Amino acid sequence: EHIRSAEGRSLYSGTVTIGSTRRDDGSYELVDPQRGGHRTLDATATSAGVLFTDTDDVWGDGTAADPQTAAVDAAYGAQTTWDFYHDRFGRNGIADDGRGSYSRVHYQATPGVPLANANWQDGCFCMSYGDGADGKHPVTSLDIAAHEMAHGVTSATAGLGDFGESPALNEAISDMMAAAVEFHADNPADVPDYLMAELDDLHGDGKPIRYMDEPSKAGISAVGYAPLDYWSPETKNAEAHMAAGVGAHFFYLLAEGSGKKTINGVAYDSPTYDGLPVTGIGLTSATDVMYRALTVYMTSTTDYPGARTATLRAAADLYGAQSDGYEAVANAWAGVNLGI
């Protein structure tokens, strides 16, 4: 078991236990000794950020008014994602070398302009989280944190690059891992959830930013069109988060299958390109296939057809080339117009 010492009151995940470190003067700092010394920084005054410290080791008050609350969500997200990769795949941190990262909250890419986004950056080996369009809605839910940290893992493994469909595949894998981390987490969301950022209200309409069962449901975005449900020769020209719809849809079909389904009160309805049904293998097995494909077979230039090959190889390794699992991977790709 992981040692979790401090109490945190988060915005999105309730009261949680997070890692903190006691300093010589008796105060505490938000450094997680169990996960490579992962640090959580306050970027309110400067984008570089300063380490959060506290006198009583109780962090945040569960509202965005307390600057520590977003820090609790970010720390909880980092620890939960770290634990997911460790518990499921024996992975020791983002780069599998035990090295911690850091998270900055209340981050502004442009000083004075609230950021309605979060990101992973290879340069700092760190995650940064904005406070939402109005500066009062930190973009720090568990699926966001897992999405950003998964970018770090992708960077440290396949290293998906900037060319063609690789950025879209990178985005899709971050959404897949976000769903997997939420599922793995020791919190009330212990059922599959194929919505992205459903708690953050990023658009101010109370809706998620992305839907994996039918990505186009998100509607027309700021880039002028909706996420793509199906692959086509034009997919490589689409913005990465829109083209990621193809991969996210594949993953939903692989995990849950096609058609209507209600999970934890959320209604899903996943169509297929050819109208043929797909039978899912469950989120845990779908995640096993993707992680193996990512870490063993994908490279910096993998595109969607290459992802199909990589996941089929992974399924053959895990279940055999004559298995139902292998067939499900092939059928799920056919469902997004990547059959052969």
Which residues are 118's β-sheet partners? Answer: 129
Does position 174 bind Zn ion by CB under 5 A? Answer: yes
Instruction: For residue 101, give the H/E element and its range.
Output: none
Scanning 42-50, 67-75, 115-123, 291-299 for contacts with ligand ASN by CB under 6 A, the matching segment is 115-123
Q: How many residues interact with ligand ASN (rule CB under 6 A)?
A: 7
Residue 117 binding partner per list Zn ion, ligand ASN, none, with a CB distance cut-off of 5 to 8 Å that depends on partner kind: ligand ASN
Whose Cβ is closer to Zn ion: residue 240's or residue 318's? 240
Cβ-based nearer residue to ligand ASN, 240 or 318: 240
Q: How far is the CB of 285 from ligand ASN (least distance, A)?
A: 26
171 or 200, CB closer to Zn ion?
A: 171
Structure tokens at 126: 């760190």
Q: Pick one of Zn ion, ligand ASN, none as the site partner of residue 309 (Cβ within 5 to 8 A by kind).
A: none
Should residue 214 be labelled a site residue for ligand ASN when binding is judged by CB under 6 A?
A: no
Strands 15-18 vs 195-196: parallel, antiparallel or unpaired: unpaired
Q: Which residue number has the CB closest to ligand ASN?
A: 119
Q: Mapping DSSP to helix (H, G, I), strand (E, B) and coil, where does residue 180 land?
A: helix
The answer to the question of residue 216 lying near ligand ASN (CB under 6 A) is no
Instruction: Give the DSSP H or E segment for 196.
Output: strand 195-196
Q: Residues 83, 165, 171, 201: which binds ligand ASN (CB under 6 A)? A: 171
Q: Any long-range contacts for 201-209 (C-beta under 8 Å, 24+ apart)?
A: 201/132, 201/137, 202/116, 202/132, 202/133, 202/137, 202/139, 204/133, 204/134
Binders in 153-172 for Zn ion, by CB under 5 A: 171
Phi then psi for 197, rounded to 5 degrees? 60, 40
Q: Is 148 in the site for ligand ASN (CB under 6 A)?
A: yes
Q: Give me the DSSP letters along 211-225.
A: ESSSGGGG---TTSS
Among 43, 118, 153, 255, which residue sits at the site for ligand ASN (rule: CB under 6 A)? 118
Residues taking part in catalysis: 148, 241
C-alpha closest to that of 268 among 253, 246, 290, 283: 253
Q: Which stretch binds ligand ASN (CB under 6 A): 43-51, 104-112, 144-152, 156-164?
A: 144-152
| 92 in contact with ligand ASN (CB under 6 A) | no
CB atoms within 10 A of CB 133: 17
Please list, in sequence order, all residues whose beta carbon lies within 8 angstroms of the beta carbon of residue 45, skipping any fewer than 6 positions away.
none
By the criterion CB under 6 A, which residues form the site for ligand ASN? 117-119, 147-148, 151, 171
By the criterion CB under 5 A, which residues form the site for Zn ion? 171, 174
